[in-house]
């Protein structure tokens, strides 16, 4: 049975956000700020969709390299700084 497409990049970005966010004590941890960070990061990096287990393994191996990890880290940090500067949680 074929599963629907999955964005492997989203999983990696969420993990990176959880690891990096504690370095920013001024960062609000509400759900809105968290999803804003994830969305900004994903928009900068672009998706990495897969439709099979084999495709997911291959994508994760490709994204485990040094440069993709640096790209993810820098994009997450940039997104955090944007959200810290202009949070939208008060606009709900």
Residue range 25-79, pLDDT digits in tens: 999 989 999 999 999 999 999 999 999 999 999 999 999 999 999 999 999 999 9
Residue-level pLDDT at 76: 98
Return the bridge partners of 49, or none.
Answer: 7
- How many domains is the chain partitioned into structurally? 1
* Segments forming the whole domain that contains residue 65: 6-87
CA distance readout (Å), 78 to 50, 57, 60, 81: 26, 28, 23, 5
Please give the pLDDT value at position 89.
Answer: 73
In a domain, 1, yes or no: no
User: Running DSSP on this structure, what letter comes out for residue 64?
Assistant: T
With cut-offs at 50, 70 and 90, classify the pLDDT of residue 90. low
Q: Quick check: is 58 in a domain?
A: yes
Chain CA centroid to CA 71, Å: 11
Residue 27 maps to a domain? yes
pLDDT of residue 2 exceeding 60: no
**Is residue 92 in a domain?**
no
pTM of the model: 0.88
């Amino acid at each position: 049975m074929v599963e629907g497409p999955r964005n492997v990049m989203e999983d990696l970005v969420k993990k990176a956000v959880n690891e990096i966010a504690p370095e920013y004590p001024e960062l609000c941890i509400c759900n809105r700020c968290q999803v804003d960070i994830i969305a900004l990061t994903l928009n900068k990096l672009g998706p990495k969709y897969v439709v099979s287990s084999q495709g997911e393994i291959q994508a994760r191996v490709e994204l485990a390299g040094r440069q993709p990890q640096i790209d993810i880290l820098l994009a997450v940090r940039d997104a955090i700084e944007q959200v810290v500067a202009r949070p939208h949680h008060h606009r709900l």
